[in-house]
Structure 1
Amino acid sequence: MFSNKEKKILQILVEEKENFVTSKKLAAHLSCSDRTIRNHLKCISTELEFIEGVNLCSKQGHGYKLLFRDQNKKQSFIQMYDLVNHTIQNDSDVEERYTVILNKLLFEHESILFDDLADELYVSRSTLSHDFKIIRKMLDEYNLKIESRANKGVFILGKESDKRRFIMNYFLGSQFLKTVQRHIKMDVLDQNLNLESLTRIVLEECREDNLKLSDFVLQNLVVHIALAIQRVKSGFSVPAIGTKLEKYSCERVVATRILKRVKEIIGIAFPDQEIDYITLHLISKRQMLHENFHVDNREFIKQDLLNSLSSLKIDDIYHFSSDLRLIEGVVTHLLTLKVRLLNEMGLSNPLLQEIKSQYEDVFYLTEKILNNMSFFSDVKLTDDEVAYVSLHFMAALERYKENTKFNVLAICATGFGAAQMLKNRLETEFNHRIHVVDVVGFYELTKDKLENIDFIVSAVDLSNLFFSIPVFKVSVFLKPNEVEEIKHAMDHMIQRNKSYHSYQAVRKSFEEKLKLFFSESRFFILKTGKRADIEQLLIDSLAVDETIQFKKDFLNFLRDREKLSSVVFSDKIAVPHPIQAVGKQAKVAVAICKEEVEWDNVSNQIQIIFMISPSVYGNEELKLVTEKIIALTEKNEIQRELLHCKDFITFITLLESL
């Protein structure tokens, strides 16, 4: 998977055709530094190693260009990654730069040098100047000004009370705190003390003593205190800290004041141990408590976390490494976590059961990432600790969902009246998460209408048709259960990676259902052949036990289906099927060709053909088969194994392994 910037680089290289493009020219196009471009080009080169027929060529003194094995490979690559007339929005990248700049100005330093900041962010001076224009407008609303002086740098002028107001609104209304407040289904705080009020207390007390802590530390601290309140309410006790904290008198005084104010509001007294734990959070930006544990470990933890994400191939799905707020938030949390583990200070997590039951996938994903880090190779993380860290990943996924908009095609019988009602209901229920590209009647559905569509929402039964994108059958009124089904599916499209435990629970039943559709009598390994001959062979195998008219009707409906959109799902895979069911029983016939087959004018490398015959009596479970086929299109290694398989048992085993 390529990031937005990497797609923009690829688009430029594609448009330049046979010319070499220098990294300097690419940097100018993307308004970033030459070094940033080279880093992205390394990532692109690594990713292309897994894509057949495409290579990134570099020539010293000339630059870079893309090389394609043939024109078909070029076209499929461009289509797969949407590289034609593709305008990439870098809003998330820009927002992250704003966050870094404001963090430095408001939390970490009184002033920063402009050139140093440009180097750190890997952007040009002109890009940084534009960023500061936007930031100035943001600060104007709070009576804050940005000043710049020679040899002193850039800094913010204004009242401390105005700075606190800005911090509250910009930093601490983050998705991380929203996740804790909105998605964990339990009353963490007292009615008299909400999360916003607690955040204000922490911010005021920290800045009163000039504690320069980043927004990441503040957010972690707020959540820690919220859970500490729940711990005390539930009667949980925490172990005493075995390390002396006398030299951190300032931080301890601030921690004491914070809990004193909380006690005044909710009437609960906190033991000294809880004050010590808050003190740990407050000193997390300074030298830590263990003799071998210094602030330098922050960079080590960060790199260790990035390495874990990379080695587990998790970034191929989620792009966590490019999420500044996630990485900094997790690293900040892990700093204090490691200190507690070194001193055998475990914490109970009141949210553990809620997280494991409602966000099981995220919990096990977090556990996998942490256990893969060398930083924790000498300790065993408890479920309580993993659940704390999983809050950060939950927030990251929520941010990603909010920034991901799906293109949707709505289908009704005519495209009028009820169709507009369906469109309005979709836009009301899903708001910023979808874009209804068009509303069409069933008979207006054409290949062109399906271009760049992520999924279809239809008030007409399309169960006899199979597309390479999901289809949801709904009523025009869009019932609550239908809304939930689509929301769940959108989350799945984004996350795609199910936990091992969830997968195991459904695998056995799926394997049994899989065998209902496939048969050794409908499985063929061919050395060579033409499309028409292969189609006829598969149709003949599907016609067993069917009516006399089956073959003729099936072939006619096969051609009608192809008029809607291509049945070629990838470079190697075609999935022909009729526009209307004609068979009694749902069946699939398979042909594996040792030599490439020319399927149409565009696709001439087809080697795996799944011919699907839906049933006139219903096809609810057949979609499980199509999901497997879609999954196969993304698994080049399994495709290669299928091309070398010698019997039906090997084929079905490989299909089950997806």
Structure 2
Amino acid sequence: MSLSNRQRQIVLQLISAEGAVTAKQLAESVAVSVRTVKYDLTDIRDWLAAKDSVLKSAPRKGIWIEASEAARTALREKIDDQLADNYLAPNERILRMILILSQTGDYTTQQQLQARVNVSQTTVNNDLKKLAVYLEQFNVKLISKNYYGYKLNGTELAIRRLLEQLITQQLNRKTLMAELVDSLNTKTEPKRALVLTGEATFDHAFNTILKEAIRLGKQEGDMPDPSTLIATIIRLTIGVIRQGFNQLVNSYHRVEQSQTDQQYSDKLIMRTLDFYNLPALTDDYDYYLGQSVNEKVAPQDHNLVAMTHRIILAVGALVDHDFSHDSQLQENLYLHLSQSLGKKSQLLEYSPFTQDIKQEYPALFEAIEKTVNKELAGDQAVLSEAFVSFIALHFMVSLNRDSQMRTVRVAYVCATGIGITNLIQQRIASAIPNIELVGFASIDDARALIAREHPELVISVFPLKNLEVQVIEVRPLPNAADIAAIRGAVAKKLQVPLAQIKSQQPVVPIRPKPNLEQQTQQTILTMFSIYSELKQQLPTTIDPYYGDAFMMHVFLAVQRIMFDKQYQGKPNQDDPKLVGTVEHVFSDHGLAINRAEVHAILEYLSLSHEVSQEGDDTTGRER
């Protein structure tokens, strides 16, 4: 059997983890529900069993793979093999076709492309249209000729920068980058050929040069840092393939041995060219070192200040968020751009955050990518997803600062406009700190309140139509699902990820207050709210026969907690998940319930479960 892309990510996380990982952590890492992860783990368990490895799990501990280090290495290899087999996903077909077209100076027919990517003629036609659009951002064109096929057209440097971008993207496969860095740091050749692109010519050249780099490192002692060396290896991989069919950066002028510094990088370049029986040409040699012909001069300071300001304004306009007031963003982004664009030698950047940022902030990433491609169109050397992701980090920090300071103005529409306002304020404020309740209103006064306060969001227990402002309909006492809906709307208004809208537990538990009337009202509402949430969140439906008793028990439990008179006793062996549910419901209301009280509440579930097991014939029976 083979694993899905998501299941492979889960296996890689378990292999790399130092200890056990919870199902919740796995679910968050692949952006699915815990239930979906549990289904995936069933398939993963079977897949691992076929590979003589075991998936283990334990309550309150988590999930882990029981395997030796050698077995873990073998599992990583199997995962990478499956990644190679599944390489031709829709977007990746386009990348494969670029790699195919870049290996020849002649035309490649549509039939040849179709055979190489193993799809239909219609699919290839659609892919070629997307490919032509994709190439434009690199100043490369896809040209076609009847009866001949397709070829890449652009300067040699532009085509090589394009290939650098594609190959660098593959480094975002975290296991591959880790394996590369480890091999270079330890000067140990990989035990297997690394699958970098899935295209045999590129992968073979990359692995050959990598091994030569490690051998040279053993001889020389000192090596460049891994990121610099990987960049050089990638450029050499691209260069020897392109130079092999006479695609040169510029001139045929040869480098004299006396012109080289004979540093580590010089020696690696010369050894590689000797191995492939290629001449050392001046412009190509500069390219391998990262010193491009007609290298772009870094912008002057006053131009860079203006560019920074234009980027901030353009990105803000695209994502509909005002970044212009953030002077810290202006300063940090300016410093970042001055360092990145001021380098004499542009090296490929790698960012381990790229995929996470693209997933969590897709609109922001796309806006930054579009803006910097426009601003730096003449400097393709720096334009990569890693470059965009590093810029995105500065904008994300700015968003985080804004979300901490900014609130969403909310109007609340309930039955009377008064009464339970204190409880509602407490519940919503603790769950969603980024809101400002501008007022409460009854259904009759709702439109007047909205017209007067101009809220950004309306929360209502009644359906309200024909309003220009967004309305979220909730229950009279908002439950967990209602809070989640409000949190989602607030996150959207603030343009931040949902995870950034964090709950804040009440600092001080509820205690009797001097005003007896207000305290009594709040206590009753708290009791009923906890009772309602327990009924909704506990998995077993309370049998109607025990319904009144269960409600009274919950009410009295609240009263006992508030007056420090909880049941005492040894903790019982209750289901940890059920215990956590009960504790969480009480905690949401500022009450700390002990295990003896929790056990007493869960006893009603056991009674109801026993009744349900007796069958449907119990309906209407006497008790």
TM-score normalised by the chain length of structure 2 = 0.32
Q: Which has the larger radius of gyration?
A: 2
